[in-house]
Amino acid sequence: MTPWFTSASKRRRYLVGVSGGADSIALLHLLVEHGFQNLVVCHLDHRLRGEASTQDARFVEKTAKRLGLPFELGRTDVEALSRANGCSLETAGREARHAFFADCAKQHRCPRVLLAHHADDRAETALWNLLRGSHGVKSIRHEQTIRTNGRTLELIRPLLEMRRDELRDYLTKRGIAWREDATNAEGIAIRNRLRLQALPLLEDIAGRDIVPALLRAADASLDQETITAWALEQANVLDPQGRLHLPALRALPEAIQRAAIHRYLSDHRVPNLDRDLLDRALALLDPANPSVLNLPGGRHLRRRAGRIQG
């Protein structure tokens, strides 16, 4: 069992995101088994699978009632949200869940949300971020603070050290039922294709389970982030107005310059910060290059009067 279950306060209130699938049902029962009783079961119906989605919601509600826990149900047309925002179903679903959790947090005066992501999810995310050229082998964090709908949420993932098969074994041995989402077996969404096609192929090539290697790479990337954060504090590259100070930036090694720009853009919520974008941003340090860089979302990064700012 992961250390969180023994170290966390059992008296505190937690919201628990429960889809009805094996992972979230295992999380819910593990919490109850370890003495966490001040729980609020939260389920969002994405309206993606017709009657099956309705049955998922009923199943989770019955599970909460059987365990003597309060239940919150939300409904969002995620497909319509995806079309309206011009984003993928996965992105729209994540944004809808965060908005739903924010509503639950307000109602129950609880910012803490427990989620059922596990080690395999973390490995899949690390692989996907590596493939799309992210800055470092980034993956899911044990704890994450986000701001949505005017509220701050603390996302906590107690199962990140457990494997998918461990969770299913736990449920099977105890005779605990869960809902199986048929779309998980379809190679449509990116995460499904990684799980069903890419990872098995890589494991066949390597002749071993590659999840531990991906997790080690993600942990090493976290270590590097800690080192880089310390170096940036020493470098002090921001002026009093929060702009990047060019003379201070130019005095740094290129790797720290890149990290400083990455942090600046990340703090200003610029999406899709891959290596290519950071390299193009680095070109702003050279006065012989153009002084403006186009950023995602119609934004710009500009060199002016010894400063770089968005």
Domains, the chain, ranges and CATH? 4-199 (3.40.50.620), 236-309 (1.20.59.20)
pLDDT surpassing 70 at residue 183 = no
Tens of pLDDT, residues 198-210: 999 999 999 999 9
53-78 mean pLDDT: 95
Q: Identify the pLDDT of residue 138.
A: 86
When the pLDDT of each residue in the chain is averaged and rounded to a whole number, the result is: 91
92-104 mean pLDDT: 94
The alpha carbon of 50 is separated from its chain's Cα centroid by a whole number of angstroms, namely 26
215-219 mean pLDDT: 95
Lowest mean pLDDT among 161-175, 264-278, 292-306: 264-278
Task: Output the CA–CA distances (angstroms, integers) from residue 21 to 18, 177, 185, 229, in the order listed.
Answer: 8, 9, 13, 37
Q: Which position has the higher pLDDT, 109 or 137? A: 109
Task: With CA atoms as reference, report the closest residue to 94 among 78, 80, 117, 106.
Answer: 78
49-75 mean pLDDT: 94
Cβ(164)–Cβ(303) below 8 Å: no
Lookup: tokens for 143: 């704890």
pLDDT surpassing 80 at residue 133 = no
Q: What's the pLDDT band for 63 if we cut at 50, 70, 90?
A: very high
Q: Identify the pLDDT of residue 72.
A: 97
Cβ(76)–Cβ(85) below 8 Å: no
Q: Give CA–CA dist 2/19, Å, rounded.
A: 21
**How many other CB atoms are found less than 10 A from the CB of residue 64?**
22
75-99 mean pLDDT: 89
pLDDT surpassing 90 at residue 50 = no
Q: Give CA–CA dist 195/71, Å, rounded.
A: 31
Q: What's the pLDDT band for 92 if we cut at 50, 70, 90?
A: confident
Q: Give CA–CA dist 40/34, Å, rounded.
A: 16
Q: What's the pLDDT band for 137 if we cut at 50, 70, 90?
A: confident
pLDDT surpassing 70 at residue 186 = no
pLDDT surpassing 60 at residue 9 = yes
Cβ(260)–Cβ(237) below 8 Å: yes
Tens of pLDDT, residues 141-168: 999 999 988 899 999 999 999 999 999 9
Q: Which position has the higher pLDDT, 185 or 259? A: 259
pLDDT surpassing 70 at residue 95 = yes
Task: With CA atoms as reference, report the closest residue to 90 among 199, 206, 188.
Answer: 188
269-291 mean pLDDT: 89
Lowest mean pLDDT among 81-90, 94-103, 211-220: 81-90
pLDDT surpassing 60 at residue 188 = no
Q: Percent of the chain scored above 90 by pLDDT? A: 70
Q: Identify the pLDDT of residue 298.
A: 85
Q: Identify the pLDDT of residue 192.
A: 86
